[in-house]
Amino acid sequence: MKKLLEKGFIISKTEFIAYLECPFQFYLLKSLNKAKDQSKEPDYSNYEKFLQDGLKKHLWLQKFYENYGTEILNNNHPVLKEPDKKESWKQDFLDFEIKRYKQDTIFWKPIEVEYYLRNDSLCGKIDRIDQIDDQGNCRIVEYKSSPNMHDEAELLFYAFLLTSQLPIQELPTISKVSEMGVYYYKHNEYYNTQITNEILTSFGINLEEIRVKMMNPRSIKKNRDCDYTFKNCLYREICQRIQINCQKIIGL
Question: For residue 248, is it within any domain?
Answer: no
Asked whether the predicted pLDDT for residue 134 surpasses 90, the reply is yes
Residue 3 lies in a domain: no
Q: Is the pLDDT of residue 100 over 90?
A: yes
What count of other Cβ atoms lies within 10 Å of the Cβ of residue 61? 19
Q: At what angle do helices 13-21 and 197-214 cross, to 10 degrees?
A: 70
Q: What is the pLDDT of residues 25-68, one digit of tens each?
A: 788 777 766 655 444 555 555 556 767 888 999 999 999 999 99
Most confident of 2-11, 75-84, 136-145, 212-221: 136-145
Predicted structure pTM score? 0.85
Confidence class for position 246, pLDDT limits 50, 70, 90:
very low
Angle between helices 13-21 and 23-35 (to 10 degrees): 150
Q: What pLDDT band is residue 103 in, cutting at 50, 70 and 90?
A: very high
**Residue 243, domain member (yes or no):** no
Instruction: Work out the burial of residue 160: count CB atoms within 10 Å of its CB; fewer than 13 is exposed, 13-18 middle, 19 or more buried.
Output: buried
Largest distance between two CA atoms of the chain = 65
- 173 is a domain residue: yes
Q: What is the dihedral of CA 171, 174, 179, 180, to 10 degrees?
A: 10
Region 88-115 average pLDDT: 96
Name the pLDDT band for 226 (thresholds 50, 70, 90).
Answer: low
Q: What is the DSSP string of 143-209?
A: EESS--TTHHHHHHHHHHHHHHH-SBTTBTT--EEEEEEEEETTTTEEEEEE--HHHHHHHHHHHHH
- Higher-pLDDT residue of 209 and 32 is 209
| Full residue range of the structural domain in which residue 29 is found | 11-43+110-219
Q: Is 60 exceeded by the pLDDT of residue 224?
A: no
Percent of the chain with pLDDT over 70: 76
Residue 250: inside a domain: no
> Does residue 182 have a pLDDT over 90?
yes
Task: Report how many domains make up the chain.
Answer: 1
Q: Which residues contact 203 (CB under 8 A, 6 or more apart)?
A: 156, 157, 159, 160
- Cα angle vertex 194, ends 188, 200, to 5°? 120
Domain assignment present for residue 153? The answer is yes
- Residue 251 belongs to a domain: no
Has residue 179 been placed in a domain? yes
